[in-house]
Chains A and B, each alone.
Chain A
Amino acid sequence: MAARLLRLYIAGNSASSRRAQQNLERLRESIGAHGWDVEIIDVLDRPELAESARIIATPTLSYEDSVRTRRIVGDLSDTVRVLEFLGIDQEDEA
């Protein structure tokens, strides 16, 4: 099975960007890192990537492998809702 890709757009070292990275890391551990690739994009370094993905807010988590792109804006503090929105069943994967 091809690895599924999550892109996380962050803005430098801002507090919410750091929190989002930590929360995403915890999330990967809980669902098992296997089968998930995570790409971190800093919009301050790569504005052209933010432009092509039409990012407005940071942090934004983008799940582009599904039929339809899903995005979560914010620091991902509520992991249960994050998984729910991405359509990932925590118990099955764990």
Chain B
Amino acid sequence: MSTEEMEITGVLERVKTGVEAFDELVMGGLPRARTTVVGGTPGSGKTVFATQFLAHGITQFDENGVLVTFEEPPADIQANMSGFGWDLARWKKEGRLAFVDASPPANDELVIGDFDLAGLLSRIQHAAKSVNARRVVLDSLTQLFDHFIGDPKILRRELFHISTALKKTGLTVLMTAERNSEYGEITRHRLEEFVADNVIILRNVLYREKRRRTIEVLKMRGSHHVEGEAPFTLLGGRGVVAIPLSSLRLEQHSSTLRVTSGNVDIDEMCGGGFFRDSVTLVSGATGTGKTLLVTNFVSGGVEAGEKVIMFGYEESRGQLFRNASGWGADFARMEADGKLKVVSLYPEAQGLPDHLLTIQGMVDEFKPNRIAVDSLSALERIAPETGFREFLISLTSFIKKREIAGLCTATSKSLLGGESASEQHISTMTDSIILLRYIQERETMHRGLMVLKMRGSEHAKEIRRFSIDGTGMHLGEPFKEAPNVFRE
């Protein structure tokens, strides 16, 4: 076993990046005194990620930093990063951040013969010493290769030397490098092969006219990491915000407390109501009464003295309010009383990760006892399948973590049954499923409701007829002959 191997078998100290969900992917942060290469196409968020790494160190851990800029002069970076709430100029003045300006100077230059990068290294070390730095960012190395375009071999050797020298003094190094394509070679000039202990990839893929940003840990020398792409978003005032997914643990304890669905008959069918921290899916074809069940769920909560938040993705606030008043629920008064908050958004207005953050932000601000989402199918159409699945996992675990009752709707594609994609995805993640179906009986069409699943509880197994009038939903007798509600 070489010394290198001996050393890495010990527990590596972690350096938090400030991107919470990302730190979870890499077991707490980047290993201290190691070099990490962050690769990404232009506009993938490399500079933001790298700057956040420094900013977080400065503001949260008293770990000062050095920012080596190859592309833009420091003044430009300061201006670009101020939108994320990072005051680089002030930190510089306070002696917590030092710049090394390695952007191309405006003079004529020629390369004749062999050279090294001792000039750069000595400037970085000088800067690190002057602010007693613990973290160093070099952004981006690709610019350096463009500068000395004829000598990639020398640069590789020299960058290896710089990386080694900085690590030796205990600095945690983050280098960014450009990629030519989202799924091609890891970085241009294959930098990662000779300098990187760890490799991270940022992606920015266009999908159905929407940007989908992901972060992937490709390599983490000597330690474990979560595999696969995790979505993230860039937010003003915050920077890189990754969406926690696979690292989510099933640690929510389940409650046995029951809350009303807003309809006594359905409560009875469910064995006494929904559980307080459970997510229920209402699935049905268009016109079967999903929005009515949502309205019942909302007003039932408010009548029981709870606070309710509702996210509508199919109808405007005006429409939602009109529908509700048609069934005797006064949403406007509930909102005025501070008991209800109705949020209506176009699914296309933002990507799914941003929708998730919107929901999380508003829930944490309003602190409701229950949440309704109408409908998941509208959100599904703007996202790739994997993205939608990730969104659902995050949403349901978030709802459970906050210990609030959730009701989501999904539209089945065929009128008589069959499973929509959202049903397939969500059925394993939700605690309860209520199906609303058109059921043909001889020459007439009826509507039927059944509780398909109720985790941790007895529930009625029959399919009940129901009708809808001005006062809401009324459940009738069960169907005598069992129709096939799953028929395609």
Q: How far is the CB of A36 from chain B (nearest CB, A)?
A: 18
Q: How far is the CA of A14 from the CA of B114 in the complex (A)?
A: 11
A43 to B113, CA, bound (A): 19
Choose one: B107, B112, B125, B144; the contact of A47 (CB below 8 Å): B125
Within 8 A of B (CB), among A18-76: 19-20, 43-44, 47-48, 50-51, 54-60, 68-76
Q: How large is the interface on B (under 10, 10 to 19, 20 to 34, 35 or more residues)?
A: 20 to 34
Q: Is A71 in contact with B110, judged by CB distance below 8 angstroms?
A: yes
Which residues of chain B come closer than 8 Å to A11, judged between CB atoms? 116, 118-119, 122
- Contacting pair A57 B126 (CB below 8 A): no
B110 near A44 with CB under 8 A, answer no
Complex Cα spacing A48 to B428, Å: 62
In the complex, what residues of B have CB within 8 A of residue A50's CB?
119, 122-123, 126
Does the CB pair B148–A68 fall under 8 Å?
no
C-alpha spacing A72/B113, complex, angstroms: 10
Quick check: which of B57-65, B98-106, B299-307 contacts chain A, the rest being far away? B98-106
Q: How far is the CA of A74 from the CA of B126 in the complex (A)?
A: 23
Interface size on A, residues (CB 8 A): 36
Q: Would A70 and B113 count as touching, CB distance under 8 A? A: no
Partner of B101 from A14, A15, A43, A54 at Cβ < 8 Å: A54
Contact of B107 among A12, A17, A48, A69 (CB under 8 A): A69
Q: Which of B111, B122, B126, B127 contacts A73 (CB 8 A)?
A: B111
A57 engages B117 (CB within 8 Å): yes
Contacts of B127 in A (CB 8 A): 51
B120 in the interface, Cβ–Cβ < 8 Å? yes
Q: Which of B108, B110, B120, B147 lies in contact with A68, CB distance below 8 A?
A: B108
B117 in contact with A72 (CB, 8 Å):
no
Q: Which of B38-59 contact A (CB under 8 A)?
A: none
Q: Does B115 contact A (CB under 8 A)?
A: yes
Do A58 and B119 form a contact, CB below 8 Å, given A75-B114, A76-B112? Answer: yes
Which B residue sits closest to A59, measured CB to CB?
Answer: B115
Q: Which of A14, A54, A69 contacts B102 (CB 8 A)?
A: A54
A92 contacts partner chain B, Cβ-Cβ < 8 Å: no
B109 within 8 A of A: yes
Residue A4 at the B interface, CB < 8 A?
no
User: Is A6 part of the contact surface with B, judged by Cβ < 8 Å?
Assistant: no
Task: Tell whether A78 is near chain B: CB-to-CB under 8 Å.
Answer: yes
Interchain CB contact under 8 A, B100 and A51: yes
A82 proximity list for chain B (CB < 8 A): 112
Q: Which of B119-165 contact A (CB under 8 A)?
A: 119-120, 122-123, 125-127, 144, 147-148
Specify which chain B residues have a CB less than 8 angstroms from the CB of A9 in the assembled complex: 119
Residue pair B123, A58 in contact (C-beta under 8 Å): no
For A15, list chain B residues within 8 Å (CB).
114
A52 to chain B, nearest CB (A): 10
Q: Are B119 and A57 in contact (CB under 8 A)?
A: yes
Interface of chain B residues 418 through 473 with chain A (CB within 8 A): none
Chain B residues, CB < 8 A from A56: 102, 117, 119-120, 144, 147
Closest residue of A by beta carbon distance from B103? A54
A70-B100 in contact (CB<8A): no
Contacting pair B118 A44 (CB below 8 A) = yes
Chain B residues whose C-beta falls within 8 Å of the C-beta of A75 in the assembled complex: 112-115
Q: Which chain A residues lie closer than 8 Å to B148 at the CB level?
A: 57, 73
Instruction: List the A residue with the shortest CB-CB distance to B73.
Output: A54
Q: Does A90 contact B (CB under 8 A)?
A: no
Bound-complex Cα distance A58 to B117 (A)? 6
In the bound complex, residues from chain A placing their C-beta under 8 Å from that of B102 are 54, 56
Shortest distance from the beta carbon of B3 to any chain A beta carbon, whole Å: 26
Most buried by A among B112, B117, B144: B112
State A12–B121 Cα separation when bound (angstroms). 13
Alpha-carbon distance between A19 and B114 when the two chains are bound, in angstroms: 9
Contacts of B111 in A (CB 8 A): 72-74
Contact A58–B126 (Cβ < 8 Å): no
- Name the residue on A nearest B119 (C-beta): A55
B118 touches A43 (CB 8 A): yes
Complex contact A43–B108 (CB within 8 A) = no
Partner among B100, B101, B120 whose Cβ is within 8 Å of the Cβ of A57: B120
A22 to B7, CA, bound (A): 43
Q: Which residues of B contact A81 (CB under 8 A)?
A: 110, 112
Q: Are A47 and B113 in contact (CB under 8 A)?
A: no
In the bound complex, CA of A58 to CA of B101 (Å): 16
Q: List 25 A-B contacts (CB under 8 A).
A: A12-B118, A14-B116, A44-B118, A54-B101, A56-B102, A56-B119, A56-B120, A58-B117, A58-B119, A59-B115, A69-B108, A70-B109, A71-B108, A72-B109, A72-B112, A73-B109, A73-B111, A73-B115, A75-B112, A76-B112, A76-B113, A77-B112, A77-B114, A81-B110, A85-B108
Task: Give chain B's interface residues, CB within 8 Å of chain A.
Answer: 100-102, 105, 107-120, 122-123, 125-127, 144, 147-148
Q: Which residues of A are in contact with B by a Cβ distance under 8 Å?
A: 9, 11-12, 14-17, 19-20, 43-44, 47-48, 50-51, 54-60, 68-78, 81-82, 85
Besides A19-B113, A44-B118, 17 new A-B residue pairs in contact (Cβ under 8 A), listed by A number:
A11-B122, A15-B114, A16-B113, A20-B113, A43-B122, A43-B123, A54-B101, A55-B123, A56-B147, A58-B116, A58-B119, A60-B119, A72-B111, A73-B111, A73-B115, A77-B112, A82-B112
Q: Lowest 4 CB-CB distances: which A-B pairs, in order?
A: A11-B118, A47-B126, A74-B113, A75-B113
